[in-house]
Amino acid sequence: MWGLQVTWSLSQPPSSAVVCEQPQNTCVNRHGWVPMEQLTEQAAWGPDSADPVPENACVRRCQLFPAVYREDLRVDGRGCEDYRCVQVETDVVSNTSGSARVRLGHTDILVGVKAEMGTPKLEKPNEGYLEFFVDCSASATPEFEGRGGDDLGTEIANTLYRIFNNKSSIDLKSLCISPREHCWALYVDVLLLECGGNLFDAISIAVKAALFNTRIPRVRVLEDEEGLKDIELSDDPYDCIQLSVENVPCIVTLCKIGYRHVVDATLQEEACSLASLLVSVTSKGVVTCVRKVGKGSLDPESIFEMLETGKRVGKVLHTSLQSILHKEESLGPKRQKVGFLG
């Protein structure tokens, strides 16, 4: 079975955007085009920046600090709260319980979910659980070679565990088969095929789409006269249960660049940001988790502004994603067969 590939954009580029040619040997800062030799670190990073100028600051990093960021316009024509086009494709791996592929700009993510029977954890005897594994392929970027990819994979997996593996995100009790004895364990494997910035957001979208696509066989617990329990799995492939992902959050990453913060940052924009805020938001705009990444600092006023932006953008992201997933579900077997693994 193959899923339906859908592309959507949360907003359209402004029709009044003006593209001008950059003069040679110049750089752009908040004052406009200036000669490279006149550009100083102070002009590049801003006189009232909350972070100190890093040592050996590269002049090229200053080229992404134009005045247009303060006018809600980025170098690629998007506004500060605009996402790039998102491609979502579900049911792309046949030997999984659910799968999805998401492409966000040049970031390419593949997620597979495998449902296996296990034993409930001692501290949660009447609940199932999720396990996350993230594989940062060395072909995605040279930075993933060696220990770089392993460290990032562990960091992403720990973040996903904090966000998804709780009662508020998924009804873990629905994964319990027999308290203290049997439950469903969902093993979520994330593969980074290509890295083009904004990894956490793309991964969270892919995980939610894969969980929506997950089908778990229906189980009946039979008890004999001696009190021994026997588990019977339905052999009907259509006799299964679907997870509710209504409360599954998505991550909105906000990168602080100069005086502004932007969502869905590209690799170039991430290189210019010393601090980012990861905001886990539900479809109702409830923040479930917040995490600061990067070596820079964020003042309290900026954090509150970024949280409000994250909630606002997150609700729009959820609405678009849910609409696409339910539309695909309604098509059933009539949906167009696509797939990059075929």
> Which pLDDT value is given to residue 65?
52
- The C-alpha atoms of residue 107 and residue 92 are separated, in whole angstroms, by 17
> Which pLDDT value is given to residue 259?
81
Whether the per-residue pLDDT at 133 is higher than 70: the answer is: yes
Q: Is 46 left (phi over 0), alpha (psi -120 to 50) or beta?
A: left
pLDDT tens column, 259-309: 889 999 998 899 888 899 999 999 999 999 999 998 889 999 999 999 999
Q: 80-330: what fold?
A: Ribosomal Protein S5; domain 2 (3.30.230)
> Which pLDDT value is given to residue 58?
39
Whether the per-residue pLDDT at 4 is higher than 90: the answer is: no
Q: Which residue has the higher pLDDT, 284 or 145?
A: 284
> Which pLDDT value is given to residue 147?
67
Q: What is the pTM of this model?
A: 0.78
pLDDT tens column, 28-87: 333 334 343 443 333 333 334 444 444 444 334 445 454 446 677 888 888 899 999 999
Of 148-152, 251-255, 270-274, where does mean pLDDT reach its minimum? 148-152
pLDDT confidence tier of residue 8, bands split at 50, 70 and 90: low
Mean pLDDT for 159-186 is: 89
pLDDT confidence tier of residue 205, bands split at 50, 70 and 90: very high
Maximum distance among all alpha carbons in the chain? 89
Whether the per-residue pLDDT at 329 is higher than 70: the answer is: yes
- The C-alpha atoms of residue 88 and residue 9 are separated, in whole angstroms, by 11
Mean pLDDT for 204-231 is: 86
The pair of three-digit structure tokens given for residue 80, joined into one six-digit string: 């500060």
Mean pLDDT of the chain: 78
Q: Is 258 left (phi over 0), alpha (psi -120 to 50) or beta?
A: left
Q: Is 277 left (phi over 0), alpha (psi -120 to 50) or beta?
A: beta
Domain boundaries, the chain: 80-330
> Which pLDDT value is given to residue 339?
52
Residue 70 C-beta-side C-alpha neighbours within 13 Å: 10
> Which pLDDT value is given to residue 219?
87
Contact yes or no for 200/251 (Cβ under 8 A): yes
With a pLDDT cut of 90, the percent of the chain lying above it is 43
> Which pLDDT value is given to residue 35?
42
Mean pLDDT for 308-325 is: 94
Q: Which residue has the higher pLDDT, 338 or 89?
A: 89
